[in-house]
Amino acid sequence: MSILVVGSVAYDDLETPFGKRERVLGGAATHFSASASFYSPVQLVGVVGNDFNEKEISFLKPRGVDLSGLQIQTNGKTFHWKGRYGFDLNEAQTLETHLNVFADFNPVLPENFKKSSCVFLANIDPELQLRVLDQIERPRLVAMDTMNYWITGKPDALKKILKKVEILLINEAETRQLTQERNLVKAAKKIQGLGPKVVAIKRGEYGALLFADSFVFSAPGFPLEDLKDPTGAGDSFAGGFVGYLAKHGAQMDAKHLKRAVICGSVMASFQVEDFGLDRMRNLSKKEINERFEAFKTLSHFEENLIV
């Protein structure tokens, strides 16, 4: 089952305690696609400007990413974000944001994309997310991401799109902001009341929490020796999560949802090991499978009671 992803394709200037990089390929849709492509074919919809070098994203094509939905606007430049991280890598400081052609992004789906069964709405204006869903015939699974900007700026449109999705992927701070609840258990229940059956809360280096109708699941953060750049980790998590579900026919039972969380965590753990998409370019399925097994070892314990 292929996945339609709609979101940003960007250039990033990045600074962390471990180095600097300028004009590296980024954007939510790009990071998602690089991650999800290890599991399922991907159809990418986004927009770039006249400064975009298509060769930089061509590595995704052999992995089954269809780039025919990538619009190239010749009268403007590509979305550009500049950010800095301190030693608390869970929080980015935005130094500059230049939306450029992304400011007028109007996602128009190619005809063959309109039949997509699995959809991921990356972090874009919720009104655009609604517009995307209006173009899709009969989606079987819809997952989405959002951010604090839309929670504050477009709450009504956000609530409309939440009614139409099965899965919301959201970080810890945004969860509290959206629900005005400090407690994540209460917050997740409030979000489920807005529409999504499943809420996956991304907690950075502390892992992820999954809330479904009948169970809660916690995945640990993977202990890493090499950690350079957290940019795109959340989108890589989403790619592994949704990619796994698409590969297995969008089954939403406990077994598949739990494995999806681990797959998401595996992909995020690779993403942070280098700047931009450098780690994802060279990643192998063998490495992914080995880390999945390492996650199993990390979280396994004997089941016999000790008291």
- At 172 the pLDDT is 94
- pLDDT class of 265 with cuts at 50, 70, 90: very high
Q: Which residues contact 70 (CB under 8 A, 6 or more apart)?
A: 9, 44, 45, 46, 47, 48, 57
Token duo for residue 81: 């974000």
Query: For the segment 215-263, what is each residue's pLDDT rounded down to a tens digit?
Result: 999 999 898 888 899 999 999 999 999 999 999 999 999 999 999 999 9
**b (16+ CB within 10 A) / e for 231-242:** bbbbbbbbbbbb
The answer to whether the beta carbons of residues 35 and 243 sit under 8 Å apart is: yes
Q: What is 3-299's CATH number?
A: 3.40.1190.20
Mean pLDDT of 288-294: 95
Token duo for residue 62: 């052999």
Token duo for residue 15: 């600074």
How far is residue 233 from each of residues 39, 91, 221, 271, measured CA to CA in Å? 17, 12, 12, 6
- At 179 the pLDDT is 96
- At 307 the pLDDT is 73
Bin 52: left if φ > 0, else alpha if -120 < ψ < 50, else beta. beta
Token duo for residue 24: 């590296």
- pLDDT class of 306 with cuts at 50, 70, 90: low
- At 204 the pLDDT is 86
Higher pLDDT, 92 or 57: 57
- pLDDT class of 151 with cuts at 50, 70, 90: very high
| Percent above pLDDT 70 for the chain | 99
pTM recorded for the entire structure: 0.95
- pLDDT beyond 70 at 25: yes
State the DSSP code for 289: H
- pLDDT class of 304 with cuts at 50, 70, 90: confident
Q: Give the E-state strand segments of the chain in sequence order.
A: 3-6, 10-16, 19-26, 42-48, 65-72, 80-85, 92-98, 118-121, 141-145, 167-171, 198-202, 208-211, 216-219
- At 96 the pLDDT is 93
Query: For the segment 125-147, what is each residue's pLDDT rounded down to a tens digit?
Result: 999 999 999 999 989 999 999 88
State the DSSP code for 80: E
Query: For the segment 62-106, what is each residue's pLDDT rounded down to a tens digit?
Result: 999 999 999 999 999 999 999 999 887 777 889 999 999 999 999
